[in-house]
Amino acid sequence: MPTSLYRRHHAALCAAVFGIALTAAPALAEEIIIGAATAQTGGLAPYDQPALAGLRMALDELNAKGGLGGKYKVNLIIKDTRSDTAQTATVAQELIDAGAKIMITPCDADPSISAGQLTQPLGIPTLTLCGSAPVLTEAVGDVMFGTYPADNVQATAVADFAIAEGKKKVFLLTSPDATYTANLPEYFGKVFEKKGGTVVGRGTFTMGQPDFSAEITNIKGLADQPDLIMTAAYEPDFPAFIQQLRAAGVTIPVYGADAIGTPTIKGLGSLVDGVVFTAAGYAEPGSKLEAFNAAFAKHAGHAPESTYEVNGYEIGLILDEAVKTAGSDDPKAIRDAIANLKDFDGITGKITYAGTDRMPLRPVALMRYEGGEQKHVETVTPDAADVPAP
Amino acid sequence: MVAQQIINAVSLGGVYALLALGLAIVFSIVGLINFAHGELMTVSGYALLASLFLGFPFPAAVLVAVACGALAAVAMERVAFRPMRGASITSLLLTSFAVSSLLKVVFQNGVSARPQAIAMPSWMTGAFSLGDFTIGVGPTISIVVSVLALIALEVFLRRSVTGTAMRAAAEDFDVVRLLGIPASRIIATAFLLSGLLAGLAAMLWVAQRASVDPLMGFTPVLKAFIAAVVGGLGSLPGAVAGGFLLGVIEVFLQATLPAAAAPYRDAIVLSGVIAVLLVRPQGLIPAVRVQRS
């Protein structure tokens, strides 16, 4: 993989140099290097790759129009983190050495923080592809930006929905192995309890754990039976959990968040009927997102798998807007421009960073699996007062 | 509830026992801990996916998948380990790591880094009631298959000529060769059996997890290794005992640990392993001829 990528970049670089030489334009196009430390292999690859595909599409389109802010041609350098936190820091350093002025990091808080430790002292704006833990930006500092709806926002949206449905008692299944799996269900629990529900039990799992039977037996043995199980487990743990839960004869509904909005989970068919999850947006007929999905399918040769693609695409748009506002390729100016973005018209809706801890304010789409399909329930922007603190 | 947890423990322990046995069979003959054993499961898992995709009925797909695991094991021996025969244990160990990494990357780049869903037939996700408690069909199949496989293996090793030769080879390979039994056949059979066991374990594993992914072999081979070491490296009864012990400890801890201590579960399991090895350094049921790698 690294070889072929290297070749590709090499080719792209040659083409760029050649292109400049050929056009010999009066205003010589300037180049800005964006470093993408993302997982091409390992557990995060299923999330990073779609998001990166969306970002690449945006950058290709922008480059065709002259680059970021119409001025700076993007040279995107992609390196594989192998879904490993330490490796993420290593490749982030390589990208910084290569001259990256903007850094893109994986879809998870922990590797994003490790990359952020390196970019923060240099003031290089750093955006996670779809890492959604709200502690992520605070853990690094003012250069770190989330792009996806934050975990506490997603959890609030799902909790509001569960309360509105009349759910009263929830069981929270968490894993201490990742910030996402550890905290999201707890945010849910906070909102749920504040709005009159109760948390009747908690359980944990180890990511990659083969067997959930003991935990499931604990759930079955609860004196106070829950009417909902909330978890942020994703693949391959989520399929394992729900398979074993249903196999043990437990029919309690299971709700999750954005990480289970994937073709793998959809492929589980009737097993996941009724599972509610979140997405960054929903392609209503005539919406910008529907148009994007069509354009992406043409660009990539396949339809988007999830809303990670459009989220990645929006990162490109955000960067373009920020460079336009900054009027330069100075990392600090770009950072300030992103931090002050307000009501920016994205594809899925309005995106605001101004006044936040650099986790964007944006709408959340609630979805439900029904008969092997993803059905849209509603799109909401939770009340900021309801969203629990990170 | 207690009865239910016992079923859980036996079901998980059975899968671990199958895996550990696969490692132990090869180790007892060749002295190699095959860390690519987990990738045999991955091969079986993807073979199941492919067969179902091609429209095979479920039982046929399972047979194809198990057979693929066995064939892959034989091929692995032929391609990677036979040229290394006579090499040091360390070289063999490194070779097995290389094979493992290679296959992982092949699946990641050749198929997809994303787990692929395998929808199990609905009867397998069902449950039936027995007296007061419900028993899942999945765990039941798991227990039945592991027990049958263990019995079949025992019969093969006790009653067939090749099986007897294999048991003899585990004790003293050189004498077996002096008696005119070809070494290659015994080694190939050992790999074939380990592949069959990996294939069966993979089916039970996939049935519990409903998806296959390129890295799915990692955790099982680790568990199998722990089970095999606890049981006594190279000892077949030891591998089975170690597998069940590991399953019981894991389920017991998962069921009883308070939430605050839950993150330390794996640490506690491994501490237990160290404790067992301190008391019985050769494992629970040591092999007749102890080899160390």
DSSP codes, B244-265? HHHHHHHHHHHHHS-GGGGGGH
* Mean pLDDT, chain A, whole residue set: 90
Question: Has residue B180 got a pLDDT over 50?
Answer: yes
The separation between CA B209 and the C-alpha centre of its own chain, rounded to angstroms, equals 16
- What is the mean pLDDT of the segment spanning A339-352? 93
Residues A237 and A307 in one domain: no
Among B105, B252, B254, the strongest candidate for a mutation testing the A interface, having the largest count of A CBs within 10 A, is: B254
Residues A376 and A251 in one domain: yes
- What is the mean pLDDT of the segment spanning B48-63? 95
Query: What CATH number does residue A55 fall under?
Result: 3.40.50.2300
Ranked by mean pLDDT, which of A184-193, B24-33, B253-262 comes out on top? A184-193
- Rounded CA-CA distance A236/A245 in Å is 14
Do the domain assignments include residue A188?
yes
Q: Give ipTM to 2 decimals.
A: 0.82
Do the domain assignments include residue A386?
no
Do the domain assignments include residue A388?
no
Mark which residues 129-188 of A lie under 8 Å from B by CB: 176
- What is the mean pLDDT of the segment spanning B83-106? 91
Q: Which of B105, B115, B136 has its CB closest to that of A248? A: B136
| Weakest-pLDDT range from A208-212, A318-322, A356-360 | A208-212
Do the domain assignments include residue A387?
no
Which tops the pLDDT comparison, B46 or B113? B46
Count the neighbouring beta carbons within 10 Å of the beta carbon of residue A383: 9
Q: Write the DSSP symbol of residue A223.
A: S
- Rounded CA-CA distance B30/B28 in Å is 6
Question: Has residue B107 got a pLDDT over 80?
Answer: yes
Do the domain assignments include residue A10?
yes
Do the domain assignments include residue A385?
no
User: pLDDT tens digits for A127-167?
Assistant: 999 999 999 999 999 999 999 999 999 999 999 999 999 99
Collapse the DSSP code of A114 into the 3-class scheme (helix H, G, I; strand E, B; otherwise coil) and give the result: helix
- What is the mean pLDDT of the segment spanning B198-224? 91
Question: Has residue A12 got a pLDDT over 60?
Answer: no
Question: Has residue A176 got a pLDDT over 80?
Answer: yes
Q: What is the distance in angstroms between the CA of the first residue and the CA of the last residue of chain B?
A: 42
Q: Which of B117, B218, B263 has its CB closest to that of A268? A: B117
Residue pointed to by tokens 């603190």? A389
| Weakest-pLDDT range from A94-98, A222-226, B231-235 | B231-235
Parent domain of A245:
151-279+365-380
The pLDDT value given to residue A24: 41
Do the domain assignments include residue A390?
no
Question: Has residue B146 got a pLDDT over 60?
Answer: yes
Residues A140 and A268 in one domain: no
The pLDDT value given to residue A19: 45
Residues A141 and A199 in one domain: no
Count the neighbouring beta carbons within 10 Å of the beta carbon of residue A297: 13
Chain-chain contact of B109 with A42 (C-beta, under 8 angstroms): no
Chain-chain contact of A202 with B122 (C-beta, under 8 angstroms): no
Question: Has residue A197 got a pLDDT over 90?
Answer: yes
The amino acid at residue B198 is A
Among A243, A265, A302, the strongest candidate for a mutation testing the B interface, having the largest count of B CBs within 10 A, is: A243
- Rounded CA-CA distance A370/B269 in Å is 40
Those residues whose C-beta lies under 8 Å from the C-beta of residue B147, and which sit 6 or more positions away, are B14
Mark which residues 24-53 of A lie under 8 Å from B by CB: 39-43, 45-46, 49
User: pLDDT tens digits for B61-79?
Assistant: 999 999 999 999 999 999 9
CA-CA distances (angstroms) from residue A211 to A204, A334, B127?
Answer: 12, 47, 17
The chain B residue lying nearest A202, using CA atoms, is B259
Q: Do A377 and A366 meet the contact criterion of CB atoms below 8 Å apart?
A: yes
CA-derived radius of gyration, chain A: 21
The pLDDT value given to residue B289: 60
The pLDDT value given to residue B292: 44
Chain A residues within an 8 Å CB radius of B116: 264, 267
User: pLDDT tens digits for A224-277?
Assistant: 999 999 999 998 899 999 988 988 889 999 999 999 998 899 999 889 999 999
- The verdict on B102 touching A (C-beta cutoff 8 Å) is no
The alpha-carbon gap from B277 to the nearest alpha carbon of chain A, in Å, equals 24
Question: Has residue A7 got a pLDDT over 50?
Answer: no
The pLDDT value given to residue B291: 52
- The verdict on A273 touching B (C-beta cutoff 8 Å) is no
Residues A310 and A273 in one domain: no
Mark which residues 211-250 of B lie under 8 Å from A by CB: 211, 213, 215-216, 218-220, 223, 250
**Is residue A23 very low, low, confident or very high in pLDDT (cuts 50, 70, 90)?**
very low
Domain count within chain A: 2
- The verdict on B260 touching A (C-beta cutoff 8 Å) is no
From A149, A112, A116, A151, select the one nearest A128 (Cα to Cα): A112
The pLDDT value given to residue A11: 47
Chain B residues within an 8 Å CB radius of A242: 210
Chain-chain contact of B108 with A270 (C-beta, under 8 angstroms): no
Residues A372 and A223 in one domain: yes
User: pLDDT tens digits for B6-28?
Assistant: 888 998 999 999 999 999 999 98
- Rounded CA-CA distance B136/A52 in Å is 41
Mark which residues 76-95 of B lie under 8 Å from A by CB: none
Chain-chain contact of B137 with A268 (C-beta, under 8 angstroms): no
Print burial letters for A227-256: b (CB count within 10 Å at least 16), e (below 16). Answer: bbbbbbbbbbbbbbbbbbbbbbbbebbbbb
Reported for B48-54, long-range contacts at CB under 8 A and 24+ positions apart, including other chains, are B48/B118, B48/B202, B48/B203, B48/B206, B48/B212, B49/B116, B49/B118, B49/B212, B52/B118
Domains of chain B listed by start with CATH number: 2-279 (1.10.3470)
Question: Has residue A187 got a pLDDT over 60?
Answer: yes
- Rounded CA-CA distance A62/A234 in Å is 33
User: pLDDT tens digits for A63-80?
Assistant: 999 999 999 999 999 999
User: pLDDT tens digits for B182-208?
Assistant: 988 999 999 999 999 999 999 999 988
The pLDDT value given to residue A146: 95
Residue pointed to by tokens 């793998």? A264
- Rounded CA-CA distance A17/A28 in Å is 11
Residues A172 and A306 in one domain: no
Do the domain assignments include residue A136?
yes
Residues A155 and A239 in one domain: yes
Collapse the DSSP code of B18 into the 3-class scheme (helix H, G, I; strand E, B; otherwise coil) and give the result: helix
Q: Do B228 and B239 meet the contact criterion of CB atoms below 8 Å apart?
A: yes
Q: Do A310 and A363 meet the contact criterion of CB atoms below 8 Å apart?
A: no
Q: What is the distance in angstroms between the CA of the first residue and the CA of the last residue of chain A?
A: 37
Q: What is the dihedral of CA A165, A166, A168, A170, to 10 degrees?
A: -20
Q: Do A387 and A153 meet the contact criterion of CB atoms below 8 Å apart?
A: yes
pTM score of the predicted model: 0.83
Residues A56 and A123 in one domain: yes
**Is residue B113 very low, low, confident or very high in pLDDT (cuts 50, 70, 90)?**
confident
Question: Has residue A18 got a pLDDT over 60?
Answer: no
**Is residue B136 very low, low, confident or very high in pLDDT (cuts 50, 70, 90)?**
confident
Q: Longest C-alpha distance within chain B, in Å?
A: 60
CA-CA distances (angstroms) from residue B193 to B42, B70, B166, B196, B198?
Answer: 16, 7, 11, 5, 8
